[in-house]
Amino acid sequence: MPDVAVVGSGPNGLSAAVVMARAGLSVEVFEAAATIGGGTRTTELMQPDHFHDVCSAVHPMALASPFFRAFELPRRVDLLSPEVSFGSPLDGGRAALAYKSLDRTAAELGRDGAAYRRLMKPLVRHIDDVMDFTQNQLLRIPRNPLVAGVYGLRTLEQGTGMWNARFRDELAPALLSGVAAHAVSHLPSLAASGAGLMLGALGHAGGWPIPRGGSASIAEALADDIRAHGGIIHTGTPIDRLEELPASRATLLDVAPRGLLDMAGHSLPTPYRRALERFRYGNGSCKVDFILSGPVPWQAAGLSDAGTVHVGGTRAELARSENEVSAGRHPERPYVLVAQQSRFDSTRAPAGRHTLWTYCHVPSGSTRDMTSQVVAQLERFAPGFRDLVVESHAVTAAGLAEYNRNYIGGDFSAGVMDVRGLIQKPVVSPVPWRTPLLGVYLCSSSTPPGPGVTGMPGMHAARHALKDIFKLPVPDLGLS
């Protein structure tokens, strides 16, 4: 009979289990799939020796997340950090490049370089305070209110109709919009702006690292630590009702609100149950993976050195694409997020071959295969791309929902990314991880701080469970 039961072995469930096991408690993790990882799985999707990340691929928060910093992830996983964190191609062979060096980035942005530096420099300089603010519950007093205020004013500027007031050319706005579009939200919007500025600052503060061997190496590092401290992980063990779990003093659920309703809706108080029923999920994505016979032939110099490329064109084009998705339509020229891990990690494909990871945004529940649109956008900025495609594999938004119960309608963020959605995660509460059921906590991306491989929802939920149930402090998580 364990002290703690954890449902779900995504990065948040695993991080929660790490904290509880490190505290000296007996922990058991239950995973429905045959392998652990959730959004951090890596597989030979099409051909042997060609490894593809199933969901997450590049990890800007692996170096800055308070959980992963405490866990000392860089000492456990080889994180490859390209000098160019991300880039955005434009027609005519131009591209905006975000180097780890903010000064070099500004120097190559032409007459908007100084304006870009002024926008980003305070966030880069105070990145720890930015992360403290963004990786916690928003209904709290931040550690550094001044930095939070600076971040908030910049979010307001770039998240409203004022977003072009600072710039005169196309490069810097395209660079910022490409990162903001990660939020799967209309542009401009406050939620997308806040996410984009935080991710962009991380690109200059430490880079956007790629785990050698795939994102699964992060899940394995977490699992190794759980087992080293006595924890047990069960795979191929779906949990449909809370009653199926062994009796334990605390239960941490890495599930979306709909999952909690399915597992315990009969025992939840009516107001809380209705709040979960009103929880809003966002739009989805269509993921397309490729095996290539060579590297992507980008027309713009420098993009080959970028771990991540945001394909879609100008700020106006990116906004048009994302706003079409928000209106329930499939864009003909979609925003395509591209990760070219095999350019930096030779373990991903045999010599002479490359794997390419892409996705574009689509309406929730979409069954449309967007491969042709993705290929057309890549061909637009990398002429000859089609000739390099050896094989491709697409998963629609509906397919993503089948792959992972938390991806409702193909929404891997597990909740709408807007201001209301950031506050109601999943309910308005100073401790949203705590449910009305004694000892039961939510620790999925539907709780603060939200999506991304940060481990923070799990850490927050575990911290409250330790305090509420076991009267224990958060333990040291480092290797030492």
Q: What is the pLDDT of residue 433?
A: 97
**Does residue 139 sit in helix, strand or coil?**
coil
Q: What is the pLDDT of residue 452?
A: 92
The burial of 20, by beta-carbon neighbours within 10 Å (0-12 exposed, 13-18 middle, 19 or more buried), is given as buried
Alpha-helical runs (H) found in 327-455: 371-381, 385-388, 397-403, 419-423
The segments of the chain whose pLDDT lies below 50 read none
Q: What is the DSSP letter of 307?
A: E
Residue-wise pLDDT for 402-452, tens only, equals 999 999 999 999 999 888 888 889 999 999 999 999 999 999 999 999 999
How far apart are the C-alpha atoms of 389 and 241, rounded to whole Å?
A: 44
Q: How far is CA 451 from the centre of its chain?
A: 5
Q: What is the pLDDT of residue 140?
A: 85
Which structure tokens are listed for 147? Answer: 């930095």
- Type and span of the H or E element at 113: helix 113-125
Q: What is the pLDDT of residue 231?
A: 98
Q: What is the pLDDT of residue 288?
A: 98
How far apart are the C-alpha atoms of 283 and 396, rounded to whole Å?
A: 12
Of all residues in the chain, the percent with pLDDT exceeding 70 is 100
Residue-wise pLDDT for 4-58, tens only, equals 999 999 999 999 999 999 999 999 999 999 999 999 999 999 999 999 999 999 9
Q: What is the pLDDT of residue 321?
A: 98
CA dihedral 33, 34, 40, 41 (to 10 degrees): -130
Q: What is the pLDDT of residue 343?
A: 97
**How many CB atoms are located within 10 Å of the residue 115 CB?**
17
How far apart are the C-alpha atoms of 43 and 69, rounded to whole Å?
A: 27
Give the side-chain half-sphere CA count within 13 A for 46.
Answer: 21
Which structure tokens are listed for 174? Answer: 């395209």
Residue pair 464/9 in contact by the 8 Å Cβ criterion: no
Torsion over CA: 331, 332, 334, 340 (sign): positive
* The model's pTM: 0.95
**Does residue 290 sit in helix, strand or coil?**
strand
Which structure tokens are listed for 154? Answer: 């910049």
Give the side-chain half-sphere CA count within 13 A for 430.
Answer: 2
How far apart are the C-alpha atoms of 437 and 252, rounded to whole Å?
A: 11
